[in-house]
Amino acid sequence: MGRSPCCEKEHTNKGAWTKEEDERLINYIKLHGEGCWRSLPKAAGLLRCGKSCRLRWINYLRPDLKRGNFTEDEDELIINLHSLLGNKWSLIAARLPGRTDNEIKNYWNTHIKRKLYSRGIDPQTHRPLNAASATPATAPVPPPSPAAVPVATSSSNKKINSDTISSSNTLTHDVVITNNSNNSNGSQLVSNSAYANTATKVGTDEDSNSSSGVTVEESFPHHQLNLDLSIGLPSSHQVSSSVNPEKLKAQEHDQKPHVLYKWYGNITGQAVCLCYSLGLQSDQACYCKGVGATATTTMVTTTATDSNLYRFYRPMNI
DNA sequence: AAACCCTGCAACCGCACACAA
DNA sequence: CTTGTGTGCGGTTGCAGGGTT
């Protein structure tokens, strides 16, 4: 499907914004609010592409932006959120008030990557740098499959959507997939699907081969963190790689629970949706869409020994 | 002082999704 | 169902400024 360009490029300015342009944009948005970015430049008297205006506003001009250096707490939060969400900068930014996705992305690439390398941690996988060559003796699980190997391509990271929510192409934590009727037996699949470039076929044998056995706890020993995503499968169904909220909702009537997220730690768990635990709005990344809040189909038991983590991921009283 | 290198960040680009017609 | 539009996202680029030689 062809589509028209977002603007007439021959009549638009590019590059750095001038003070006057900034003022025009600010004044216009003060008067009319955000939105309708395509028509905004013309209405505001700007020779700019609408996308450019939006970006300038969101990343630089917004009054609620927090300028200045990132704090140590913010650093750690970004690292932890990245280990959970991958390069979903907008989701990470949603947990850092006053910070933009672009800012966090830049900060990640320029500072945190280096910081993690200095800690001996691969910033993409959040595993020890030598993990690829050394299989942990403490983890009696198969080595990672090619699908679990980090692949850094410009197109490897696509948005989380209803069809790829189970793809785990950016999840870096262990995913424990169990049969709902038998959570603790040997048939449970354990997958650390860190940056698997292709969709993880949840509930298949391939999945069981894709585990490195390296937990987040090993990546963050100082946090004593072990996050498992336990996905309970319906006993008589195989879960396909394509799951959308509608399907999940439909399945809700048939089997429950489907997804169990667990923190392991000292604090006795309280069941909340992971999205709520992360503080995400229901429309941001939460596929429970409220059903999870009832702690029936999508549950998170959040505990953490580290005070920072507990602060970041403190369970909500629901 | 000049040339070169490196780093950080603002901005751009292309793609994909949501939604309306 | 198809098509077009608006918007958001993530990856990449280019430039300014500081540091080094």
One domain for residues A187 and A152: yes
A133 in a structural domain = no
Provide the token pair at A176.
Answer: 């424990």
One domain for residues A169 and A108: no
Query: Which of A84, A118, A152 is the last residue in one of the domains?
Result: A118
Query: Bridge partners of A264?
Result: A226
- The one-letter amino acid at A205: D
| pLDDT at position A164 | 34
| pLDDT at position A6 | 53
| pLDDT at position A63 | 84
**Residue A41, CB, less than 7 Å from strand C?**
no
**Residue A3, CB, less than 7 Å from strand C?**
yes
Per-10-residue mean pLDDT, chain A, length 318:
46 82 87 82 86 87 84 88 85 87 87 85 80 40 34 34 34 35 33 32 34 38 37 33 37 34 31 41 37 31 32 32
One domain for residues A155 and A292: yes
| pLDDT at position A10 | 53
The CATH code of the domain that includes A82 is 1.10.10.60
| A148-183 b/e (C-beta count within 10 Å ≥ 16 → b) | bebeeeeebbeebeeebbbbbbbbbbbbbbbbbeee
A318 in a structural domain = no
| Number of domains comprising chain A | 3
| pLDDT at position A97 | 85
A5 in a structural domain = no
One domain for residues A154 and A246: yes
Bases of chain B with protein Cβ within 7 A: 7-18
Which residue has 């909500």 as its token pair?
A: A316
Provide, in whole angstroms, the distance separating residue A15's CA from nucleotide C14's C1'.
9
Provide the token pair at A59.
Answer: 């990343």
**Residue A87, CB, less than 7 Å from strand C?**
yes
One domain for residues A20 and A76: no
Domain that holds residue A78: 72-118
| pLDDT at position A11 | 64
A4 in a structural domain = no
One domain for residues A201 and A281: yes
